[in-house]
Amino acid sequence: MNGPKLPPARGPLSAGVISALTSGPPPPQVAGADPLGEDLQLALYLCYELHYRGFDGVSDEWEWDPGLLRTRRDLERLFLAALRGGVPGGDDVTGVLEELLAEPIEAVGISHHLRDDGELWQLREYVVHRSIYHLKEAEPHAWVIPRLQGRAKAALVAVEFDEFGGGRAERMHSQLFADLMDELALDTSYGAYLEVAPAEMLAVVNMMSLFGLHRRLRGALVGHFAAAEITTAPSARRMAQGLTRLGVDPLFYTEHVEADAVHEQVLRRDVIGDLLRREPGLAADVVLGVQATDWLEGRFADLVLGRWRSGRSSLLVPMSDSR
């Protein structure tokens, strides 16, 4: 087995991609689909996953199949247009980063809930959602490396080195996350929870792949990375408090408090600073990356907290207590 198993389809687009990958009819036509809906997000996720680890039983040839790439491009156009349409835009990079640097008092986010009142089943659900990204943590960002130069490149690679454990496999952030999943009696195999992750979660990861795979969107990838690193330290502190309260080892999150306090400074000063000195025309793309991250994370948090408030599971299929 060389990758995760394919998930069930969520509509005609994802069904078309799955049947193309498994039995070979031409990939589906994309028109009029909901750009943030379950079907398009899963179809796009399947196309992108071919560039990471692929799927069990799916030929590696599909990664560069022109017909499937055309379908992926059509899916991406709808998704990117939705991202541009969902955010205010502009080119004030300093202004949008300053907004993220202010810590709102009385905020209500997932990490606030898990710190104060979250139950173990909710923590497990949250970790299942995030496994879609954290088991490939920092990987979408590696694609931007050849598209940067000089100080911006060197600084981004230094942050990536930290994300990948500073040369020690057991300290890779993806491994620390797998250790956390193991402690919570969750399945640590890559892609195990793809079939229960809702579109709101897939969209966050699809955004990273979209920005990472397109050289023209390198500014957006850097903006996204900075936004993620800036917002992580305070939320990781709250998560660590929540895990400690629930008797779970908080190492994954305590590592992110200190690491991201450093990464934030490096991303702002060295990566964004140097990139915009070289390519000032990318300011609007950096802003897009920052704002799209904030917007998609907000949609994800609204979904999860909304479901939990009414006592329901935030996953597509609720989990039983065991693996």
Partner 1 sequence: MPGGPVLVEGPVEITLDDGSTARSDRFLVALCACRRSRSYPFCDTSHRRRTRPPPTDAEADAD
| Binding string, residues 43-82; x marks residues near partner 1 by CB under 8 A | ----------------------------------------
C-alpha dihedral, 36 to 40 to 43 to 48, nearest 10°: -40
Q: In terms of Cα–Cα distance, which of 54, 58, 59, 14 is closest to 37? A: 14
Closer residue to partner 1, CB minimum distance, 56 or 258: 258
Site residue total, partner 1 (CB under 8 A): 25
170 binds partner 1 (CB under 8 A): no
Among 1, 31, 105, 169, binds partner 1 (CB under 8 A): 105
Question: Least distance to partner 1 from the beta carbon of 192, Å?
Answer: 31
103 binds partner 1 (CB under 8 A): yes
Question: Least distance to partner 1 from the beta carbon of 101, Å?
Answer: 6
CB 45 within 8 A of CB 202: yes
Q: In terms of Cα–Cα distance, which of 213, 228, 245 is closest to 293? A: 228
End-to-end CA distance of the chain: 20
264 binds partner 1 (CB under 8 A): yes
The interface region with partner 1, picked from 7-15, 59-67, 143-151, 230-238 by CB under 8 A, is 230-238
Closer residue to partner 1, CB minimum distance, 81 or 107: 107
169 binds partner 1 (CB under 8 A): no
How far apart, in whole angstroms, are the C-alpha atoms of residue 145 and residue 167? 18
Question: Least distance to partner 1 from the beta carbon of 180, Å?
Answer: 19
Question: Least distance to partner 1 from the beta carbon of 53, Å?
Answer: 28
Sign of CA dihedral 196, 37, 29, 219: negative
Among 104, 247, 280, 311, binds partner 1 (CB under 8 A): 104
* Angle value at C-alpha 316, between 20 and 248, nearest 5 degrees: 120
CB 46 within 8 A of CB 18: yes
Among 141, 147, 153, 237, binds partner 1 (CB under 8 A): 237
102 binds partner 1 (CB under 8 A): yes
Closer residue to partner 1, CB minimum distance, 24 or 104: 104
How far apart, in whole angstroms, are the C-alpha atoms of residue 154 and residue 273? 13
137 binds partner 1 (CB under 8 A): no
Q: How many CB atoms lie within 10 A of CB 301?
A: 17
Distance (Å) of CA 237 to CA 126, 231, 255: 16, 11, 10
Among 262, 284, 305, 319, binds partner 1 (CB under 8 A): 262
Which distant-in-sequence residues (6+ apart) come within 8 Å of 318 by Cβ?
none
Q: How many CB atoms lie within 10 A of CB 94?
A: 11
Among 61, 106, 170, 321, binds partner 1 (CB under 8 A): 106
What is the DSSP secondary-structure string of 163-187?
HTGGG-GGG-HHHHHHHHHHHTT--
Question: Least distance to partner 1 from the beta carbon of 122, Å?
Answer: 22
The interface region with partner 1, picked from 16-24, 27-35, 217-225, 261-269 by CB under 8 A, is 261-269
Among 49, 125, 139, 162, binds partner 1 (CB under 8 A): 162
257 binds partner 1 (CB under 8 A): yes
Which residue ranges make up the site for partner 1 (CB under 8 A)?
101-107, 158, 161-162, 166, 233-234, 237, 254, 257-262, 264-266, 269
